[in-house]
Each structure stands twice: as structure tokens, then as C-alpha cells.
Chain A
Amino acid sequence: MMKTLLSADFLKIKRKGFWLLTFLGPFGVVALQVVNYGYRKDYLLQQSDNDWKYYLLNVSSFIPLALVLGIAILTSFVASVENETNAWKQLISLPVSKMRVYLSKFTVLACLLWVSSCLLMLFTLVYGIFLGLGEEIPYLDLVKFSFYPYFAALPILALQLWIATFSQNQGIPITTGILGVIFTYSAFTLPDWMIWKWPSLINDWNEPIINVLLGIGVGAILYIAGMLDFTRRDVK
């Protein structure tokens, strides 16, 4: 049941540029470092003893922004596929539970972002090796830097999907999405409880794993809230 819903949902995002966006996000993040290191590699290598770690830090500084922006665009795209001709009414008239419909949409988005994170890791690794930052590649850090922000951003994904499904006007999720990007941009100054701060992995205890756990926990709560709201609401 879930499998068929998912495969239908993946069919629906064909030719809409979803996969291109999924690729462009991580590509852009690493491309910025290509420019950065391309211009002043010698200067950057002098900044730190551990060239790999310093490189990963540089890459990761743009991940939260790309991630939050990506979430905003992808969620509103996914909702617009159904909103465009009000296909929700057709979809919900099928013998499927509304919870599963919502879960399927969330899963599609989570999958796309997961692919993005994988690509991010790959691109980071490839350019790192190309730069010749040293024989000892910190794989564990590489995985952390690539996937921790993903988990920490789950609450934003759940919130944006919720907003995108109940808004008739797609201007609303876009607005909250852009606000989210601005919040993420100013993550340093935000209090710890703001979900937009979490993907930057900054917190008072200097323990990124806290953001990951918080992300999964609060993400689940927001997801369930959104799903229950979706099942309760009348379909327009």
C-alpha cells in the first residue's frame, strides 16, 4: 500500500525539476568552496593544522542555508503538484487513508533530501581529494558534517509540509520558507529553541548530536501534528 503510494508520488514529480534541485543544492555548496579554494588555496591551508577539518568547516558553513532553502522550495513544489488542479480531491477519493497520503509526501521529501545529503558527502570528498588535503581522510567527520544537518532540519521539513498542505495560497509556505532562510542565516544570534538554528549544529554545549536528537524528536512531533491536522481537515 505504502509502496504503491510512494511510487505514484515519485511518478508525479517527474519533469518538475525535483531531481535537478536535489543535485544543485549539494553541488552549489561544494562549488562555493571550489571558488574559495581556487582563489586562495595557499592562504586557506595556512589557517589551520588540520587541512581536512578546516575544509569541512568551510563546506558546512553553507549547508544549513542550502538545506533550509531546499526544504522550502521542495515542499511547496510537492504541494503545488496536487494544488495546481486541486488533485487532492481526486487523490483522497481513492481508497487510501489520508495518513498514508501525508506520510507518502513526507517520505518523498525526506528521500530527496537524503539523496542531497549523500551527494553532498560525495562532492565534498571528491573535491577534498582533488585538493590534496592529506592522506588521512576524516571519514567520520565527513559523515557527520553531511548528515547531521539533515536530521537537525527535520522539524523545518515537517513544519513546511504542514503549512504547504493546508495553504490554498502557495505564497504562505514560500513566505515562511524565506523567513526560515533568514533565520538560518542569522543562526548565531538565535536562541537555542528556534528550530532554524538547529541545522547549523550550534548550541551552548557544543555538542552537535544534541541538535540531531532534538531534530528527530521535534521533527516527529511536528510531523504527527501536521498529519493529524491533514486527516481532520475537509478537502477543498
Chain B
Amino acid sequence: MEYVVKTKGLTKSFGKEKAVTGLDMKIPKGEIYGFLGPNGAGKTTTIRMLLGLVKPTSGTTHIFQKDLKKERINILKRVGALVENPSYYPHLTAYENLEALRKILGVSKSRIHEVLEIVRLSDVANKKVKGFSLGMKQRLGIASSLLNDPELLILDEPTNGLDPSGIIEIRQLIKRLPSEYGMTILISSHLLSEIDQMATTVGIVTKGKMIFQDSIEVMRMFAHQNMSLKVSDSEQAWRSLLANGIKSDYKDGIILLSERSNEEVAKVVHTLVQDGFSIYRVEEEKKSLENIFLQMTKEEREE
């Protein structure tokens, strides 16, 4: 498989503290790679190393099969990035901000209008960025990352500070890019739901270590959920389910089903009703990112 980004044993320590440890990241071409992890897990440090902003303590990075250490400038010509909070020059207009970057990138002036159109900032192109809302600044940041029509787009928490409609807009934009422009995208987030809706490949990092890296389908299997039932006389009800040969768990007055197909749930409800129990609630328990982390790190330890 062709990897756009491939790191090997990437490690960065700040003094004694290790921010990133032995990270092997593989991003296949044309994928939306969701880089997931809690705050302070080392996501931003990793992204900084991918851009050559921070030099790794050890390990190598290859982007487009080129060594980042040797060919940083040639690589960055084909990369667009938005790192952490958006950077901008508040005393300049949106247009001038992009112009300052455009000059260095050497792309045509018409590209500025194109990217402003993409992020819907054309109306405020000639307003100073000082007066922009956080969401607008974030969109300006995304516009600047698209300026050189990159083959690899790196977005660090791009939906931070956006309102719901802004988030949906950006999400749709990001989903569109790989198919329309053949871009490969690395997007970091601490929100599972965010990644879940966009990514095709996922990498999960915690405490500077990559604990999971695979397609989103494999990830979803980890995140499988329980069905919880709240019924009258629950312990009795649980026993009656077991007596009927239905696998279930009982915990704190709630019956938990690990099997959650429609037929299975219907069968359980039917059995309980027949046996004369009142059903108050049938809920799907969604596992939070935290739970999945716990689950994954637990499995790590057991291996």
C-alpha cells in the first residue's frame, strides 16, 4: 500500500518528559485519517514533528516517500496545515492575510478568491481579521491551508470554536476533498463522534503512544455498545431471562444485553412482557471515548 505519511519510532521528549514515544503512523493515500486522543496525548506534538516545526528526539518521518529531515521544503510545498489555534495577522484583512502567505507559496492571486469562496468568507475578504469571530478565524485558517492546493492536508482540531452549522459545513468540506481533489487528510480531534463522522482510518494515541491504528470499521467493533433495560422487579426479570436461555448481565438494578440486533431486543421485550414485568426503559448504552480508551488500554496490558 502507498503511504503518504509514514513515521517510524517517532519520539519527542521535553526535558525528562516524553511527549511522544515510539510512534509509528501510517496514512494511506486518499484516506481521511482521524487522529484521536485526549488533550495532552501528544497529537499536536506529533503534527508539529510532521511539519518540521519540532525536531524529533529520535525516529524518522517520510512524507510522499521522502525523508522529512532532508527534503522538508520540497515536502511542505505539497502540504497544507492548520496547527492548533489559527494563526493570523489581526491588523490585516482576510485577503491580505492570505496574500502574505500566497506570496511565499507562489500560487496565483485568483486562488485567494477560490479558497475564500470555499470557506465562505468572500463577503468579509476586506475586513480586518481583528473583528472576526473565532469560527471565522478558524475558517480563515482552513482557507490558508488550502491555498497551495495541497496533496496532504493536516488539520489540528479544525472544528474547535465553530458553531454547529459551521461544524457541519467544515465536515462536509473535508469529506469532499479526497474524492474531488485527491487529497489525503490528517485530522486530529479529541472527540470520537467528530472522527466517527469523517474518518476512514483511525489512529488513537494516549500518553504519547499509539494504541490503535486501523480502519474505522475495526474501530467501531471496539466501540460496540450494550443494550440496557430498566424493568420492574429487575433481579427477578433477569433470572427469568436466563431461564429462557437469553444471555444477559445484571448490574445495579439494570439488565444489560450484549447482543443488540433488532430481533434479539424484540425477543427479550416479548419474553419480559409475557412474564408480567413492566418495562420502563430500553436504552442503547453508548460507550464514551474514555470507555473505549480504558477498554483498549486494558487490552494492551493483557496482551
Interface set of A (CB-CB < 8 Å, partner B): 4-5, 7-8, 11-12, 14-16, 81, 84-97, 234-235
Contact = CB atoms under 8 A, between A and B. Distances in A.
Interface stretch (B71-79, B112-120, B224-232, B262-270): B71-79
B149 interface: no
Given A89-B84, A90-B87, A8 B106 contact: no
Contacts of A16: 91
Interface string B216-258: 0000000000000000000000000000000000000000000
B183 interface: no
Interface in B261-280: none
Contacts of A235: 48, 53-54
Interface stretch (B97-105, B184-192, B293-301): B97-105
A11 B75 CA distance: 26
A85 B88 contact: yes
Contacts of A87: 87-89
B86 interface: yes
Contacts of A96: 73, 104
A80 to B, nearest CB: 11
Interface in B48-103: 48, 51-55, 72-77, 79, 81, 83-92, 96, 99-101, 103
Interface centre among A4, A16, A89, by most B CB within 10 Å? A89
Interface centre among A5, A85, A91, A94, by most B CB within 10 Å? A94
Nearest to B45: A234
Contact of A85 (B55, B86, B96, B100): B86
6 closest residue pairs by CB, A with B? A90-B87, A95-B76, A87-B87, A235-B53, A95-B77, A234-B54
Contacts of B55: 234
B92 A11 contact: yes
Contacts of B87: 85-91
